[in-house]
Amino acid sequence: MKPLKVNKRIILGPGPSSANPEVLKSLSNPILGYLDPEFFKILDDVRGSLKSLFRTNDNAFALSGSGSSGMEAGLTCLAERGDKVIICSYGYFCERQILMAERLELEVIPLRSEWGKQMDSSLLEEALKENPDTKLVVATHAETSTGVKQNIQELGKIVSKYDAMYMVDCVTSLAGTELLFDSWNIDFAYSGSQKCLASPPGLSPCALSNRAYEYIRNRTKKPSSWYLDLSLINDYWGKDHIPQYTVAVSSIYGLYESLRLLEEEGIEERWTRHVLNAEKLRKGLLELNINLPISEKDRLDQLTVVTKPDHIDDVEFRNRLINDYSIEIGRGLGDFEGKVFRIGLMGESCKSEYVDLILDVFKKEI
Amino acid sequence: MKPLKVNKRIILGPGPSSANPEVLKSLSNPILGYLDPEFFKILDDVRGSLKSLFRTNDNAFALSGSGSSGMEAGLTCLAERGDKVIICSYGYFCERQILMAERLELEVIPLRSEWGKQMDSSLLEEALKENPDTKLVVATHAETSTGVKQNIQELGKIVSKYDAMYMVDCVTSLAGTELLFDSWNIDFAYSGSQKCLASPPGLSPCALSNRAYEYIRNRTKKPSSWYLDLSLINDYWGKDHIPQYTVAVSSIYGLYESLRLLEEEGIEERWTRHVLNAEKLRKGLLELNINLPISEKDRLDQLTVVTKPDHIDDVEFRNRLINDYSIEIGRGLGDFEGKVFRIGLMGESCKSEYVDLILDVFKKEI
């Protein structure tokens, strides 16, 4: 094996995004033990900062795993085999939730609606009316496969009329758009470090309500997963730092730095940066006569879905961008496979100069 | 939050160990997408090198999670609810396997033997005779709580007379002592990146036999975990690179570098380094009249367990080492709590100069 050499890519896909250079530098700090008092200080700061970011007074932490580990942790911990779980599905990652829930033998009530559009919240209202004994409602804030934003606040109001808990996928939304955990009645939210937080992939930042924590602790049958048991993870991140497993120490250094940089920029200011660059991108794409299939009211700022022009070959075009420009953009998934490209402007990849660059390349190559 | 500043520790505990500076440096490389052809080249090299390290012609990869995620993945994938699983238990981490297996509702047959001694392999022979329909046998190569090495080859010979699969915990053994996956009849072995591999914590390097892979693929009921489904993970690391989740890209850079450095040193040479430094440590400790409770035939080289002298306060002593010398050593766990210290010499922490240092400190402070 030769010494590792990695060429810089401009990552404008659905994630991971490029990481901030300061964050990358911080990964090289010497290792501390996961029970070292000095490491606990770092953990405490990260927990506090995540609580501010999620806007919660309850609990926050990061799982040593990808965003999908957060997804599975929620489904494993917040419902038991045979429990009714309503999963709002309008994209590829919602379908992954269904797949996981089925493996866990939950009684899944899939609430499927058209890909590329916000789900009508009355669908949830009806489903809960029919199934008032639902244990858990799951929704996705920013569907990375379709570029659609869901109204999580509105769904949360509906859930709060029932006894169910409310779990939200914030993988692509956290730090990129408004998210208010406590006031939107969320019980569990999970995200990924590698998107709007400008950190490398490998951690799943999460928030957990006190109610959900107590529910997990008091389950007579423990969650089938020990590694993803959110109550044990919360106990390690809590003030007593009860040991569970050896966490990804270096990745947590990176998360610390990315949260520090976020505080420096300001959370609202980062949301605004995502809005402004997305607006600039969309304007430029429309000027190039490229079609944006998602309606203005439904679309995300972090991820813009564009219709692939008929004369362009999907795979060949994306390979050309990689090989000739060292730019990565995303392909369509599921119902959108072969029909769209996905351009992500998240975290460190959310820069005005990158918007100029990708518009230039599209102008030349399409 | 202030910019992150981490002071260097000399980590001589049960793990994580210090990471190699070259490995730490490699973490700062720019992010590549997890489906980027350039990243696939890195994955392919890591897979090949892990196969050499495990001594297998079948499959190897790394989970994006701690060693415990590897433990849970094996238990989740290689047996189904109600299946008989024999777990050889002679320490804290064996008990964790039992705990996980119980959560998964496997029919656990715990084979408990005295902590601090190798388990007599005839125990397994008898248990299998009584339970020839056992689906899986689990053993731990290097029990980090007791400093005892188990004869994995001998147990493997017994397992091979039956139809059961054979799963081995190699968290503390991999790259520190001889391990021959194929010729010892192992079906699944999991380790951690943060011990004898001199990488940061966050990955679980694993090997999987073709037989076990086929078993998982052909299960009529899929494993309850999607995140830890070893067949899906193997498919992502295999030649078709079928997407599953976003892996911990930076950590995989670190693993690449740590495997490259291992090849440079030589695998056998690294085993020998662990032997020589452990011998020097034990000799020095005996000269200081410190008792080594584990017999010569059973003990590990990576981790030396010493009896805590009566006049020494456990917590106060370890805190003094941290505060006055910036040295971390381990505490006793389970049956050994408050009775022993654990001194690890693994990977980057396995250095002659550190042996001198810890002996000096013991001389002064005990």
pLDDT tens-digit profile of B17-60?
999 999 999 999 999 999 999 999 999 999 999 999 999 999 99
pLDDT of res. B290:
97
pLDDT of res. A118:
97
Q: What is the DSSP letter of B35?
A: T
User: For testing the chain B interface, which of A246, A247, A328 should be mutated: the one with the most B CBs within 10 Å?
Assistant: A246
Q: Supply the mean pLDDT for chain B.
A: 97
Q: Could you state, in chain order, the average pLDDT of each consecutive group of 10 residues for chain B (366 residues)? A: 95 96 98 97 98 98 98 98 98 98 98 97 98 98 96 98 97 98 98 98 98 98 98 98 98 98 98 98 97 96 96 96 97 94 97 98 95
- Beta strands B136-140 and B84-89 are parallel
Residues 234-263, chain A, touching B (beta carbon < 8 A): 244-251, 253-254, 256-257, 259-260, 263
All residues of chain A having their beta carbon less than 8 Å from the beta carbon of residue B225 are 72, 76, 103, 224-225, 228
- pTM confidence score: 0.98
Residues 271-290, chain A, touching B (beta carbon < 8 A): none
CB A107 within 8 Å of CB A83: yes
Residues 290-329, chain A, touching B (beta carbon < 8 A): 322, 328
Are A29 and B24 inside 8 Å of each other by CB? yes
pLDDT tens-digit profile of B93-142?
999 999 999 999 999 999 999 999 999 999 999 999 999 999 999 999 99
Tokens 């944006």 belong to residue: A292
pLDDT of res. B87:
98
Residues 6+ apart with CB under 8 A from A214: none
pLDDT tens-digit profile of A4-55?
999 999 999 999 999 999 999 999 999 999 999 999 999 999 999 999 999 9
Residue A73's pLDDT band (cuts 50, 70, 90) = very high
- Beta strands B165-169 and B148-149 are unpaired
CATH homologous superfamily of B10-15+266-365? Aspartate Aminotransferase, domain 1 (3.90.1150.10)
The domain B21-263 having CATH identifier 3.40.640.10: the answer here is yes
What is the per-residue burial (b if ≥16 Cβ within 10 Å, else e) of B191-225? bbbbbbbbbbbbbbbbbbbeebbebbeeeeebbbb
Task: Over range A60-68, report the average pLDDT.
Answer: 98
> With an 8 Å Cβ cutoff, is A151 touching chain B?
no
- Whether B10-15+266-365 and B21-263 share one fold: the answer is no
All residues of chain A having their beta carbon less than 8 Å from the beta carbon of residue B100 are 226
pLDDT of res. B326:
97
Task: Please calculate the CA angle A308-A311-A313 and round it to the nearest 5 degrees.
Answer: 65
Task: Please report the number of interchain residue pairs, chain A to chain B, with beta-carbon separation below 8 angstroms.
Answer: 251
- Beta strands A136-140 and A165-169 are parallel
pLDDT of res. A72:
98
Residue A131's pLDDT band (cuts 50, 70, 90) = very high
CA distance A350 to A51: 24
CB B239 within 8 Å of CB B47: no
pLDDT of res. A225:
98
Residue A108's pLDDT band (cuts 50, 70, 90) = very high
Phi, psi of A32, rounded to the nearest 5 degrees: -110, 150
> With an 8 Å Cβ cutoff, is A25 touching chain B?
yes
Enumerate the domain spans of chain B.
10-15+266-365, 21-263
> With an 8 Å Cβ cutoff, is B227 touching chain A?
yes
All residues of chain B having their beta carbon less than 8 Å from the beta carbon of residue A8 are 30
Task: Over range A278-295, report the average pLDDT.
Answer: 97
pLDDT of res. B72:
98
State the ipTM, two decimals. 0.98
pLDDT of res. B278:
98
What is the per-residue burial (b if ≥16 Cβ within 10 Å, else e) of B260-290? bbbeeeeeeebbebbeebbeebbebbeeeeb
pLDDT tens-digit profile of A200-232?
999 999 999 999 999 999 999 999 999 999 999
